[in-house]
Structure 1
Amino acid sequence: MIEITARAGAYRKGLLSAVGRLSAEEAAILADLERNGLQVPQLHDVLCGGHVLVDDPELYEAWRSARGSRERLSSHHRDIDKSRYPDIGMRGQVVREKLHGRTAQGTWVQLEKTPAAFGKRKLPTLNDLRHLADYVVYRITSSNVGPWGLSRMTERRPMYLSPALAVPTSLTPPVARSLTRALRRIEEDDDATAVSQDLAPRFPPPDRQDLTGELGSALTGRAGRGLFGNSEVWVTETPSRIAASILRTRPEPPPEADEWLGRGAA
């Protein structure tokens, strides 16, 4: 997922090399976000420090028990009882500093460029000063400072993920009949765009009884919401030598074309 989004998005240098050192704990966080509806285009904001709300309170405990996790201070979601649900930080090669906590209905998570430990020591550390500099950038740009860029997905304008974003419902019979007629009319119009109108009737589209099921209400899982969403998809494969040789061959004009050209020149 990171390699795909890195082809289209702008990130700080070093992201792909950091992916090679991705830990199991970091991978679990990204996998959990994907399971809750994260798509490849949204991953850009996550890596750039976007504030994410997940409609799943169980993620808080799952990430809290991960290796390397520790309690941390933060100013996010002050309405939560921090003595019961303290904010949890974790460092990694890709997430740099993962910070997460509880919300009233779920879990929030945010990746930071620099960890901070205010309140843990009497004197601020170098990381504390760097974190303060990131806060100045946030105040100026109104963007979170993430490990690999800036994101406008702040706590005031967060990214929202939900495992049950859409609930499939059945259509009433009149609406279903009207929709089926419209879909069949669209298919008939598509047949007219075939290369040969003589061949189109010989190869009709499949005769499906319920065309409305193709709109996503009958699909399993997330009801048609794909992992790649609106992202661009690349296909990388070894070129076929036979296809390359055919494409390099310059086709000779047929004899009829030579005869026609000769008459035209005369």
Structure 2
Amino acid sequence: MERKHPLPFTKRSAHSGAAASDSPEARRTEVLRDRVRLTIEITARAGEYRRGLVAAVGRLSPEEAAVLADLEQRGLQVPQLHDVLCGGHVLVDDPALYEKWRSAKGSHPRLSSHHRDIDKTRYPDIGMRGHVVREKLHGRTATGTWVQLEKTPAAFGGSKMPSVDDLRHLMDYVVYRFTGSNVGPWGLSRMTERRPMYLSPVVAMPTSLTPPVARSLTRALHRIEKADDVTAVSERLAARFPPPDRADLAGELGQALTGRGGRGLFGNSEVWVTQTPSRSASAVLRARHEEVPAAGLWWTEGRR
């Protein structure tokens, strides 16, 4: 394991320029790949990974980028991405992800010991290989989809004879048994199937309030709203422009945030900038520290 030094941002890979101009869909795909590349490079500023991650990111495939982008759209943050790249077991309460990843290019059926309560005949586990994910393995859960990145692909149960990769996979399992950590492409993660990472969990349960509780809660919310009814001008002016009169303030409680509401991609991230500022920014900063000419000082004093 090694601690990576700050990395330069990758604006676009050398081989992607031509494809990006073919069609709007190709351009969107390339933008998505660039976004995922930058996100992975950001994690390497504060995280520890095995050697080779930077080179692998340069060869990130659209299918790999789509998997990581789908997780980010469902709440994955930059610090959590470190565990994903190191083999963390992820649960997403979204069954549609299983079918989306199953139909992706390069996907193939895989045998695994994860989530044995699921009918593997109807919902087989699916693998996909790539430069960054090495082997992405995913399957169904009772309420959604699980996914895990593995360091070494394996083909147990097939018609082929055991390969060197199969033996290496067994060694990874031995490491798991001794350390209690999953062996991912770029490190070890304590996020195992018994202690997984949850994204977009379905934990909300609608319920109704009893009338006395609803009335008491509504009165309390009215008092809070009235106390907050101030402006930067004056309280008297604020009283002339009351907020909308909503009959059921309690009904607004528990409303889910729409879209990408929440802490966002960089919530709780240890992210800092080490790049050289642009020429325009440097010029502005220098201008603020330049001394005012003597003529300007005389003119300013004369106006006072």
Q: Structures share a fold, TM > 0.5?
A: yes
Cα shift at 1:120: 1.3
> What does the per-residue CA deviation read over 1:17-56, in whole Å, with 9 as the maximum and x for residues that have no partner?
2111111101110111111111111111100000001101
The answer as to 2:148 corresponding to 1:94 is no
User: Bigger shift: 37-46 or 159-168?
Assistant: 159-168
The answer as to 2:283 corresponding to 1:225 is no
In structure 2, the CA distance between the partners of 1:242 and 1:143, relative to structure 1 (3 Å rule), is same
> What does the per-residue CA deviation read over 1:80-138, in whole Å, with 9 as the maximum and x for residues that have no partner?
11111111000001100000011111110000000111121453210011111111110
User: Bigger shift: 231-240 or 24-33?
Assistant: 231-240
User: Aligned partner of 1:49: which letter?
Assistant: G
8 Å contact from structure 2 (residues 132, 185) kept in 1: yes
Gaps of 5+ in 1: 189-200, 250-266
Percent identity of the aligned residues?
A: 70
In structure 2, the CA distance between the partners of 1:154 and 1:248, relative to structure 1 (3 Å rule), is farther
Report the count of equivalent residues: 234
- Cα distance in 2 for residues equivalent to 1:96 and 1:82: 23
- In structure 2, the partner of 1:133 is 171
- Cα distance in 2 for residues equivalent to 1:117 and 1:136: 17
In structure 2, the CA distance between the partners of 1:30 and 1:216, relative to structure 1 (3 Å rule), is farther
User: Aligned partner of 1:50: which letter?
Assistant: G
2:200 to 145, 151, 162: 162
Could you say what secondary structure the match of 1:41 adopts? Answer: helix
Q: How does 1:161-200 map to 2 (within 5 A)?
A: 161-162=199-200, 172-180=217-225
8 Å contact from structure 1 (residues 36, 163) kept in 2: no
- Cα distance in 2 for residues equivalent to 1:4 and 1:87: 31
- Cα distance in 2 for residues equivalent to 1:12 and 1:248: 47
- In structure 2, the partner of 1:116 is 154
**Larger relative contact order, structure 1 or 2 (CA cutoff 8 Å, min sep 6):** 1
Cα shift at 1:178: 5.0
TM-score by length of 2: 0.66
Could you say what secondary structure the match of 1:110 adopts? Answer: strand
In structure 2, the CA distance between the partners of 1:220 and 1:78, relative to structure 1 (3 Å rule), is closer
> What does the per-residue CA deviation read over 1:201-256, in whole Å, with 9 as the maximum and x for residues that have no partner?
8999xx7959x9xx99685324433121111333454241341465598xxxxxxx
Cα shift at 1:156: 0.5
1:36 to 74, 83, 87: 74
In structure 2, the CA distance between the partners of 1:167 and 1:220, relative to structure 1 (3 Å rule), is farther
TM-score by length of 1: 0.75
The answer as to 2:94 corresponding to 1:49 is no
User: Aligned partner of 2:258: which letter?
Assistant: T
8 Å contact from structure 1 (residues 35, 163) kept in 2: no
- Cα distance in 1 for residues equivalent to 2:64 and 2:100: 12
The answer as to 2:105 corresponding to 1:63 is no
In structure 2, the CA distance between the partners of 1:158 and 1:219, relative to structure 1 (3 Å rule), is closer
The answer as to 2:276 corresponding to 1:234 is no
- Cα distance in 2 for residues equivalent to 1:232 and 1:203: 41
- In structure 1, the partner of 2:119 is 81
> What does the per-residue CA deviation read over 1:151-205, in whole Å, with 9 as the maximum and x for residues that have no partner?
0000000011117666899x94333245457768xx99xxxxxxxxxxxx8999x
8 Å contact from structure 2 (residues 45, 271) kept in 1: no
